[in-house]
Structures are given as structure tokens and as C-alpha cells.
Amino acid sequence: MKVAEIPTPALVVDVAAMTRNIQRMADFFAGGSCQIRPHFKAHKTPAIAKRQLAAGSCNGLTCATVGEAEIVAEEALTDDILIANQVVGSGKAARVAELAKRSDMKVAVDSEFGLDDLARAAQAAGVEIGVLVDVNVGLPRCGIAPGEPALALAKRVDATDGVMLRGMMGYEGHVVGIEDRAEREPRATKAMGRLLESVRLTREAGLPCEIVSAGGTGTYDITGGMEGITEVQAGSYALMDTAYAKLDIPFEQAFSVLGTVLSRPRPDQCAADCGHKACTQDHGNPEVKGVERAVVMFLSDEHATISLPEDSEIAVGDRIELWPSHIDPTINLHDVMYAVEGEDVVDIWPISARGYPEQRRR
Amino acid sequence: MKVAEIPTPALVVDVAAMTRNIQRMADFFAGGSCQIRPHFKAHKTPAIAKRQLAAGSCNGLTCATVGEAEIVAEEALTDDILIANQVVGSGKAARVAELAKRSDMKVAVDSEFGLDDLARAAQAAGVEIGVLVDVNVGLPRCGIAPGEPALALAKRVDATDGVMLRGMMGYEGHVVGIEDRAEREPRATKAMGRLLESVRLTREAGLPCEIVSAGGTGTYDITGGMEGITEVQAGSYALMDTAYAKLDIPFEQAFSVLGTVLSRPRPDQCAADCGHKACTQDHGNPEVKGVERAVVMFLSDEHATISLPEDSEIAVGDRIELWPSHIDPTINLHDVMYAVEGEDVVDIWPISARGYPEQRRR
């Protein structure tokens, strides 16, 4: 199959660029005390996770949902899985307990409710589930307050049957996207100080804290370079997006949304078949790749309206490529991505963990 | 199954409210010269389309993509299908021609390129494909300029083998969401004037123009009440969202995203498991249903961070419901929706046309 034959809209991966990205990240952590735990949520695609793991310097995979972890196990990508998120709600803890029968499962916990729920499910299934205490390092989302509250929860984990305290985590999501390194670096260091202080207290209390997990693509070399951090949960580096491309990090744009121009109703505009059902705009409008002065004006469900210089030669039927602002939710809209080398489609990769895979298993 | 057992995040439909919405729309058009052609793109769900068609006052279905039309045909929902969008790009015209073997297919066309592509495919398949000339009525997206350019394209359609001129369409998408009727009504009327003028010229030239298709949920009773409009392409009315709820239209919110509270790290905040991979924010953040003074602060991939009054009793493990700002892309994230009556799940409806179904057919 040729790229020109791909039905649009579609996701396209530049395999050579992705391979370089994956290798660069693996090389950065090679032989160090910190490793990478690639975040599966970014692409949900087993073919990419396999390449990340094969490149080395990896501690298994990170997942955001139980459904993703189930796909990781089903596809036998790794038996070392961290769900870097609270597992709370109907049937979820039982599903994690089921996974723990064959995988080394670790789950983030930030509340007694979440801990007790997990412990009950583990006890019922006769397994032990690893727990990382999730410490709030500044992102207003999940995570128990650092210091004494984190220590208190760690003690409770250690005292609870069915769960095993494996370490701590903290995601500096409020920092990973700061473009200027001079601002990003001190803020990441400060956020990680909260996590590392909680780790210190926990170890001083005689509790185990083997894993200290944090970071993302924007802070991989800051957080990942700090003494005491054992792994970095980066995901976007393999494919990249326009938000991360603004940072001074050595990863290439390896991913785009391929579209077809449907209409050029006036000289200064065209509409292509890649709207926000094909390419999300939660981090801003996508960029048009390789077309000078072409700017996405807005996305509707199935259209990108693009402003053009009036002398542009773009015509109905032409292909265009959009660089998304955020790969994670964009990939989540599609069922496959096309792996491309030059003009050839060399493979079609299922996005096996797209959406909530349990909805497809009834 | 009880609502309390639904794994979250998940889409929930209040069947009674949806049924009232569908009936209200059918009643409005009952016996009139204008009918409704429900837009399948809004929900992509055969179970809902069946109910819309069964309620009456319908001219078949509207689709936005070839993939949606293929699902409509496969599920035998109707044999009267309008793709209210340009069909351009690799293999698409051939797929429409294939559908035309068993369905009365109509496609919007706004360019000679698109017309010729469609005609070639129709001739190759030995079928005739209906064409509506797509007239730009003000929305900066697709559509040929009204008046003489639209007439010229209609003439060309009429003179081309393999296609049959069936009428004209124009979507006033720049108007449907205007909250104030005093502004919405004259702007819709003006937009429709452009379409109707093109229709008049076409008929005066002796060409057929049986179908005049336009409108949406926000203008159903304005556009749908104008002399000469034969059908309204509304979709959102069945389920509704917060954007359309701001308009003075008689449809109820019948749809929400069900989530579970994962964390309450501080008294004035909680995080739930319904982020923008479960509920899009392209028309703004969702609203929290039934919780006083709870406001969505931001969505991340798998989290809604919600600000709460400090005395709120919301706790980890509680269920919450979000009302999305835009149902179309939100539904497009999921594989099923749960049909609910009171505390009972009465059915689970596959969102069969989610995404680009052709990606699942390789």
C-alpha cells in the first residue's frame, strides 16, 4: 500500500523518526540508576510499546487506566505494569487483582478509600497488589499532600493485607509543558522536592520505598537526572506533538494526521476532512505541515477550515498533513495508525487500547 | 444491570427524556411540507436512529462521512441516505457508488473535481448517484458561492452521466448556536435566503431541484418553517448538550457522562475519572449535573478536576455526572452507551459508526 492510497482522515507515523526518538530516550537512560517506564496512554498501540521496550532502559510500562493494563497483559508486552492513577469505581479493583495473578501490578493510591477497595479485591482474589503512594507535587488533580500525610498513608499501606508498599510517585504535570527551561527546571526540581521529602520520611520510618516514579517527556532529563528518582513516566517522546515541539528536547515530530482537501470555496481558504473527530484541539489547533502560511482557523466535527495565501496551489483532492497539538487524545480517536517509510505503508498498527476497551468486551 | 454497576467513565442516556425529545421534533414536522432528516453523525448509534425514524416526519438519514453511510446501510436503518458533505479522497467515491447499488444515495458536491470523481465512480459501477449542490450560506467551510456559481455547478451536474441533480443544500452552522433568538432568527433567514435564491435560479433554468436541505437543532423551527426548505438536518435534539441547552428550544438534556470520584485531595476540589478522553471540551468544559456550586476547572486525558464548595459531601468512590458541551465528539470517544430508566440499565447500545469504521474492516 502507498501513502497515497490511505483512506483519510488517518494517523501516519514516520517510522524512521519514531525509531530515532525511542533510541534517543533509551540512550539517555542507558546504564543509569533511573530508567524509563514508557506511558502506554500516549499511543495505546502495542507495536510502539514493543519498540520502546526493545530499545532498552525500560522498567515495564505505565498505564492510565485498568483497560490499558488489560491490553498490555493480553498482548504480553511486559509483566511489569504501573497504573499511575487511582483505581476506584465499579469492578476496577477486582480487574486489577485478576491482572495481578500473572503480572507484577502496581497501582497509585492517594486515599484510604482507594487503598481499602484495592486490598479487599486483592484478598478476595488471593493476590498481592503493589502500591505506590501518589503524592501531590503541585498539579491540582490527584495525590495526597506531601510529607506527613503521605507518610501516614504509606504506613497504612504497609499495615494492610493484600497490598504491598512498593514506593511513591508524583506527577509534575503542571510543569512538563513549560517552554522555557530556565523556568521549567527550577519548578520541576521544586515539585520533585516534595516527592523526595516524602520518600525520605517513609524510609526513615523503616518502610520500603523501592520505586520513585515521576516525570514526563518535558522533564525527562530534569526529573530523570535527580538523585533518588528511579523511573520516568514519559509517553509523548516517541511521536511528539506541537506542544512538546516548543520545548528544547531532542525529539522529532514523527506523527501526523493525514487529510484530503474537500473544498476550496475561496482563494484564501480550504476545508479538509480532518476535523476534531480526527485531531483534537485540547492543546490548541493543529499546525499544517509543509504548507507555507497555511493556518488552521478552526476545526468542526469533520472539517479543518484552513486559511491559505491566495496564491497557494492547494486544490481539492490534494493531501495535507496536520501536526496535532496533543497526540494522546488524537490517537484515541482512531482504530489504527499507518506506519510509513517514504511513500510506502510498511504496516498498519492497531490502537488496541483505544477508548475504554472493556466497552468492546461485553 | 443497575446504573451503579456501570464501569466508568461511560455514556448514559435517559431513555424517557430522549423519547420525549424525538417525539417533540417529529410532532413539529408532522404533516408539513418540510420533514426532518436526522443527522446520524450526532450519535452514530443505530438504536437511536431507529427511534428517530420510527417517530415519523423523517426523510431518511443524514451522514457526515462515507463510513457512517456504510453503517446506515449495513444496519438497514433506511435506504434514503444523504451524505451532507463532500466525498473526496482515496476510494471514497467508489464506496458511495457501491452503496448506491442498494440505497438511494445523495451526496453534497461543491466543486467540479468532486463532481467528476463521483461521476467516474458511478459510471464504473453502473449506478446513478444523487447530487445536492452544496451552497455556501455563510459558514466558512465548504459550499460553492450562492447564485450564479451554484447555478453553473447545478447545470454541470445535470449534464454529467452517472449523477443526477436532486437539489441543493446549505448549512447555516455559523448561526445554529446563537443563543438569542432575536439574533439567530434574522441571521438564519438571511443565510437561507442565499440557498433559496440559488434554488430559484436553478428551477428557472429548468433544472430539477426537488430537495432543499438545511438547518440544525438550533434553527429547526426557523429554517424548517421557511417556504421552500424541504428538510432539516438536525442531530443534537435527541440527546442535547449544554451548548444547545442555552437556546430557547424545547429539548431536554437526555445524556451525560458518568464518572467516579477518584480523589478529593483538598476540601475544595475533587478529581473524577472522566477527562477529555471521555468527554470533549471543544465547546467548553462540561457541567456537573446536580451538584451545587461544583464547577469543572479543567480536563486532562483521564481526569476532570472539579472545584467544590468546602462543605460538599462528595467523597472518593461517589458517582458524578457531567453534561457535555458537545455531544457529537463526546459520543465519538466511546464504543457503547448505556440506556437507562431510573436505576436500571435497560439496554447497551453500540455506537456502531464511532470513529472511521473502515479502519476496523481491514
Beta strand extents in chain A (DSSP E only):
10-14, 35-36, 61-63, 80-86, 104-109, 129-134, 163-170, 211-214, 231-232, 255-266, 269-272, 287-288, 295-300, 303-307, 319-323, 336-341, 344-350
Please tell me the distance in Å from B262's CA to the nearest CA on chain A.
Answer: 6
Do the chains contact at A355 and B64, CB–CB below 8 Å? no
Residue-wise DSSP of A68-117: HHHHHHHTTS-SEEEEEEE--STTHHHHHHHHTTTSEEEEEE-SHHHHHH
A170 reaches B (C-beta below 8 A): no
CATH number of A60-229: 3.20.20.10
Q: Which three cell numbers stand for residue B222?
A: 426557523
Interface test with B, best of A356, A360, A361 (most B CBs within 10 A): A356
Sign, CA dihedral B124-B130-B136-B140, equals negative
This model of the complex carries an ipTM of 0.97
Please tell me the distance in Å from B136's CA to the nearest CA on chain A.
Answer: 8
CATH number of A3-8+251-360: 2.40.37.20
With a CB-CB cutoff of 8 Å, which residues 132-161 of chain A face chain B? Answer: 136, 140-145
- Choose among A4, A85, A110: nearest Cβ to B90: A4
B307 reaches A (C-beta below 8 A): no
In whole angstroms, give the CA distance from residue B344 to residue B124. 51
Please tell me the distance in Å from B316's CA to the nearest CA on chain A.
Answer: 7
Q: What are the CB-based long-range contacts (under 8 Å, 24+) for A77-80? A: A77/A40, A77/A46, A77/A49, A77/A50, A77/A53, A78/A49, A78/A53, A78/A103, A79/A103, A79/A104, A80/A104
Query: Which residues of chain A have a CB within 8 Å of the CB of B359?
Result: 10, 334-336
- Which portions of chain A are predicted below pLDDT 70? 362
User: Do the domains B3-9+251-357 and B60-229 sit in the same CATH topology, yes or no?
Assistant: no
Size of interface A-B (CB pairs under 8 A): 196
Question: What residues does A144 pair with on adjacent strands?
Answer: A135
Element at B263 (helix H, strand E)? strand B255-266
Per-10-residue mean pLDDT, chain B, length 362: 97 98 98 97 98 98 98 98 96 98 98 98 98 97 98 98 98 97 98 98 98 98 97 98 97 98 96 98 96 96 97 96 98 98 98 98 78
Do the chains contact at B333 and A336, CB–CB below 8 Å? no
Do the chains contact at A265 and B144, CB–CB below 8 Å? yes
B361 reaches A (C-beta below 8 A): no
Closest chain B residue to A352, measured at CA? B360
Do the chains contact at A260 and B358, CB–CB below 8 Å? no
Q: Which three cell numbers stand for residue B302?
A: 483521564
Nearest to A85 by CA among B5, B262, B126: B262
Interface test with B, best of A39, A85, A90 (most B CBs within 10 A): A90
Do the chains contact at A301 and B41, CB–CB below 8 Å? yes
For residue B26, the 8-state DSSP code is H
Closest chain A residue to B65, measured at CA? A302
With a CB-CB cutoff of 8 Å, which residues 21-50 of chain A face chain B? Answer: 41
A313 reaches B (C-beta below 8 A): no
Do the chains contact at A262 and B4, CB–CB below 8 Å? no
Do the chains contact at B85 and A334, CB–CB below 8 Å? no
B295 reaches A (C-beta below 8 A): no
Query: Which residues of chain A have a CB within 8 Å of the CB of B174?
Result: none
In whole angstroms, give the CA distance from residue A23 to residue A17. 10
Interface test with A, best of B83, B136, B282 (most A CBs within 10 A): B282
Closest chain A residue to B304, measured at CA? A141
Superfamily of domain B3-9+251-357: D-serine dehydratase-like domain (2.40.37.20)
With a CB-CB cutoff of 8 Å, which residues 63-102 of chain A face chain B? Answer: 64-65, 85-86, 88-92
Query: Which residues of chain A have a CB within 8 Å of the CB of B145?
Result: 265
Do the chains contact at B7 and A334, CB–CB below 8 Å? no
Closest chain A residue to B301, measured at CA? A329
Do the chains contact at A302 and B362, CB–CB below 8 Å? no
With a CB-CB cutoff of 8 Å, which residues 196-255 of chain B face chain A? Answer: none
pLDDT of residue B167: 98
Please tell me the distance in Å from A360's CA to the nearest CA on chain B.
Answer: 7
Sign, CA dihedral B218-B278-A304-B284, equals positive
Q: Indicate the domain borders of chain A.
A: 3-8+251-360, 60-229
